[in-house]
Amino acid sequence: MDHRLREAIGDKSATIGVIGLGYVGLPLISAFVAAGFRCMGFDVDQKKVDSLNAGQSYIKHISSETVADWISNDHLEPTSDMARLSEADVLLICVPTPLSDSRDPDLSYVEGTARAIAKTLRPGQLVVLESTTYPTTTRDVLLPILLESGLKPGEDFFLVYSPEREDPGNPDYSAAGIPKVVGGLDKESSELAEALYSHAIVQVVPVSSPEIAEACKILENTYRAVNIALVNELKTLFDRLGIDIWEVVDAAKTKPFGFQPFYPGPGLGGHCIPIDPFYLTWLARKQGLATRFIELAGEVNSRMPEYVISRLADFLNEETKPIRGSKIALLGMAYKKDVDDPRESPSFELLDLLMKRGANVSYNDPHIASLPKMRHWDVPEMTSCELTPEYLAEQDCVLIATDHTAYDADFIVQHSKMVLDTRNATINVTEGREKIRKA
């Protein structure tokens, strides 16, 4: 089985099945199609499948023209029929791994996918988990379910963990251009995955086990979460001292060694950084250990939206206005600059906090035309307002939550009564700086 699959990967006759056609799955398909492979895309969301079959993309950095080309040339076959999983030689699992309401890992999507694979698993298939998770998931959660097929790992089928590494909105890094860490359950699995990804990814980094690869991903994102917490906490201190944290960081980053710049914001967003540290702390508790440093970072980052709202209240108070009844415009609902990805965006918590305090809230985001349903928020039906001089002038405060390139800071400040900047987007504005507040 190893020999046949190796040959199919080598001559690119292997069919690549990607399960989960979202912000990880579609870029991965793009990388493999560009490398000359035919792909099948699996998703339980029929709307996504129908959209792709119609040649329409729902992700900003994958164009509809690209998707239409995949479909017309039979490079991609999207389907919601999980009974067809056996048709793919390789199965790449790219499903969500969110947190539960109690901030414990929610692996229901991974487990459900594993059960679907187990029903159709055939000899000669390579299964790769790409979803972010805690160490031991591949071996202790995924493998036992796949074993229900009666097939043997390392002989009949092959199992690997290879964490996704996506940087949406960054034109310098596509899925194909970011090195890929690969950790197989056994030598044969690792070698097959290394051979596979080497066709489509700039560099493959093999490690000794799935646990190493899983821990690698957790380390990468926890590193960022902890350092962002540091600058967020310093921001709250420096604000009180009248010191600009962004200018401090820009000065510090001139040091050519021993310092990497991280920047504050209104909270953490995206699928990985707000979630991964809690996966690690959950795992530590199971081992009877406390990860106090990581938990503290999580606490600091999670309270930043509240801090922003408290600063807003202070600034409105200077104008003898309460939050209740004030018109507040949120600029940017995506979790980061120039993307259409709302996952875990702190803007939704800002929206929730403002509405609970009685504010009259509206929003603008050039990449999100209407607000999607969110797992943890009761999101009202809202559409993006046009950013006109009249709209800005009507607001008591314009709150910049995401610094999209499309935003003209001079224009925004010129036509607004007050601007609360959480991203240092107004740094180069010269006229009207008396209207600007930072948080």
- Tokens 């694979």 found at: 117
Q: How far apart are CA 26 and CA 418, in angstroms?
A: 40
Closest CA to 323 of 370, 377, 278, 360: 360
List the catalytic residues.
272
**DSSP secondary structure string for all residues of 237-293:** HHHHHT--HHHHHHHHTTSSSS-------SS--SSSTTTHHHHHHHHHHHTT---HH
- Residues 6 or more apart in contact with residue 320 via CB below 8 angstroms: none
Max intra-chain CA distance, the chain: 75
Q: How far apart are CA 271 and CA 109, in angstroms?
A: 14
Q: Where are the alpha helices (DSSP H) in 24-93?
A: 25-34, 46-53, 64-72
User: Which phi and psi angles does 130 have, rounded to 5°?
Assistant: -110, -15
Closest CA to 162 of 205, 201, 130: 130
